[in-house]
Each structure stands twice: as structure tokens, then as C-alpha cells.
Amino acid sequence: MFGFGKKKLEERFIVGIAMEISMFDSWSIDNGFGGINDSDRIMFIERILNRENLSATDEEKSTISLGISMNFDLSLLKEYRVKTNFDKKVIGFCRSIDLPLKYYQK
């Protein structure tokens, strides 16, 4: 609740979290789920932070959210998804952050 024992958020985590969510957003669009809406971004960010045992200020969460909105080139995101095998790991990603089924299962 208070973030005791959580690791401090480093810049590499900010970029990594933004990219992970951006790839999921791209996957979601390609698979008929419509992508992540603006109001869900913070929920995704907080779930990944919890998974990684990281704490973040509201400003850092906003920075991550801004990074997500800047990753708008869907063709580059698709290339990165292929490069990292993201599509084959998407169910594991969703489970790792305890994402509700409505985001990835019809």
C-alpha cells in the first residue's frame, strides 16, 4: 500500500514499461480488442509496476503514459512484436499482470 520495500523506478524501466504496453496496444488492435483507451493506461502501468515490485510517483506514471502515446507508429510496433516474439507471449504477459480476460480473450 505504501510502497515499502519496492524498488525505485529507473529510466530504463520507464521506457520498457511504455514499450511493453505499446506492444500490447498494437496486438490488441490487430486482434480485434480495439486497443487500450486513455483511461486504462494508468491501470496497465500500475499492474506492471506491481509485477516488477516497483514504485512510481504520479509524475513518473504520467511520463510512462506519455511514452505510450508517443509510440504511435503501428508498423514499427508490429516489427518489434515480431522481433521480441511478443505475440507468442501475450497470454503470459496478460496473466503476469493479472489482466481481466476482457482485454485479451473473447
Residue 4 is assigned to a structural domain of this protein: no
Q: How many domains does the chain have?
A: 1
The answer to whether residues 93 and 77 touch, using CB atoms and an 8 Å cutoff, is: no
pLDDT tens, 31-64? 999 999 988 999 999 999 999 999 999 999 999 9
Give the residue numbers spanning the domain of 29: 9-103
Whether the pLDDT of residue 4 is over 90: the answer is no
Residue 52 is assigned to a structural domain of this protein: yes
pTM of the model: 0.88
Residue 2 is assigned to a structural domain of this protein: no
The answer to whether residues 27 and 87 touch, using CB atoms and an 8 Å cutoff, is: yes
- Indicate the helix (H) or strand (E) that contains 66: helix 58-70
User: Strands (DSSP E) along the chain, which ranges?
Assistant: 7-8, 54-55
Residues 100, 62: Cα–Cα separation, whole Å: 23
Residue 46 is assigned to a structural domain of this protein: yes
Residues 16, 27: Cα–Cα separation, whole Å: 16
Residue 23 is assigned to a structural domain of this protein: yes
